[in-house]
Amino acid sequence: MMHDAESMVRLERVSKAYHNGIEVYALNEVDVEIKRSERVAVMGPSGSGKSTLLNLICGLDVPTSGHLFFEGSELSRLSDDECTRLRREKIGMIFQTFNLLPTLSALENVALPLRLQGQSRRAAESRARDMLLRTGLQERATHRPDEMSGGERQRAAIARALIFHAPLLLADEPTGNLDSHTGEEILGLLDELHRDLGMTILMVTHNESAAAHCQRHIILRDGRIVRDYDSVLSPLDSKAKSG
């Protein structure tokens, strides 16, 4: 099959089953395609398969059946190291609990993927500083996670996720641990970055107002996609157009 240059991620009849005495399908024959620069919100109740979908897309987990393509490459054909490198350089991830390494400063956390790639400390931290500047954290560069607020931690996590200018950003409940005001700030930052960098965003969320920042909504239930639709305009777009 020819690779569609516009296709970022494509799932073909992807299933993921867990065996805990009985076989439970977290995802069941899911077909979906995510295009470049799309902003997609994945919604659904607990246990619907949202996190499983994210884990499969970033190669942290493997499907039980079906095919998963990332920029045309089937992930199951990649070795663990290739998959990890892909994750490092092409997929940024942000989490509900931020998941910054507690002993490293904001700057070191952001520079970490570059250093894991083998870049020198000086070069990595120089690029990390740029990202911190972009996410508004330049003043907190030397602070450790426990010295920062929740919003600042998530900004640092976003900076780390995008240090490689990854074409895909996976966000797992990015505002779940933040108050509504801070959550809005973070979503605003994501919108801004999307506008500037044009990366694809796949965001798992329970939050309707967070989902409203995305132009496409996928609703999951019991491991199946029950709705997949484009919202007419995301709030940001509507604001931009009216402005």
Partner 1 sequence: MRRALAFVTLRQWRQHGLRLLLTLLGIALGVAVFFAMRLANVTLLSSLRATIEQLGGKATLQVVGGEAGFSPEVLKTVRATPGVQMAEPVTETIARSELPGADNLLVLGLDIGSDLKLYEGLFDENGLVVNNPLAFTTRADSIAVSQSLRSRYGLKDGDTLSLDTARGRLRFTVRGFFSMRGAGSIFGGNVIVMDIYAAQAAFDRGQKFDRIDMVTAPGVAVEAVQQDLRGRLPAGLEVVRPDLRGQNIENAVSSVRLGLAITSLLALTIGVFIIFNSFSISVNQRWKEIGILRSLGVTRREVQQMFLGEAAVMGLIGSAAGVALGYWLANGATRIMSAISVSIYGYVSSAERPAFRWDYAAAAFGVGVFASLLASWLPARAASRLNPVLALHNIETRQRETLVGRPRLALGSACILAGVLLTKFSTPRLGLLVQYTYALLFQLGMILLLPKLIAWGARILRPVMSGAFGAEGVIAVDTMKRAPRRTSATVGALMIGLSFVFSNGAFIQSQKSGLNRSLDKSVSADVLVTTSEQIRSRTYHFTEELARRVTGLPGVKGADTVRVTTLAYNGDEIALLARDMNAWFEISPGLLDEGDAQRAHDLSARGDGFIVSNNFSLRSGVRLGDQLRLETPTGPLVRPVVGLLEYYHSDKGTIFLDRELYKKFWQDDAVDYVMMNLQSGVDSQTFKQEVQRVVAGQQRTFIYTHEEYKQWVTRLIDQFFILTYLQMIVAIFVAGLGLINTLVISVAERQRELGVFRAIGGLRRQVQRMILLEAASISLIGLITGLLAGIFNAYFLTRTAAVMIAGFNLPFRFPVLLALITAPAVLTVGLLAAWWPARRATRLQVAEALACE
List contacts with partner 1 (CB under 8 A).
51, 55, 58, 60-61, 80-81, 84-85, 87-89, 93, 95, 97, 99-104, 108, 111-113, 115-118, 121, 146, 160-161
Contact predicate 220/53, CB 8 Å: yes
Phi, psi of 37 (to 5 degrees): 65, 5
Identity of the residue, 48 or 215, whose beta carbon is nearer to partner 1 in the bound complex:
48
Rounded to a whole number of angstroms, the CA Rg of the chain reads: 18
Phi, psi of 104 (to 5 degrees): -95, 150
Shortest Å, Cβ 81 to partner 1:
6
Phi, psi of 45 (to 5 degrees): -70, 170
Identity of the residue, 87 or 216, whose beta carbon is nearer to partner 1 in the bound complex:
87
Shortest Å, Cβ 229 to partner 1:
28
Torsion sign over Cα 92, 157, 224, 15: positive
Shortest Å, Cβ 115 to partner 1:
4
Identity of the residue, 81 or 196, whose beta carbon is nearer to partner 1 in the bound complex:
81
Shortest Å, Cβ 55 to partner 1:
4
Shortest Å, Cβ 95 to partner 1:
7
Contact predicate 7/20, CB 8 Å: no
The C-alpha atoms of residue 125 and residue 123 are separated, in whole angstroms, by 6
Identity of the residue, 93 or 193, whose beta carbon is nearer to partner 1 in the bound complex:
93
Identity of the residue, 85 or 165, whose beta carbon is nearer to partner 1 in the bound complex:
85
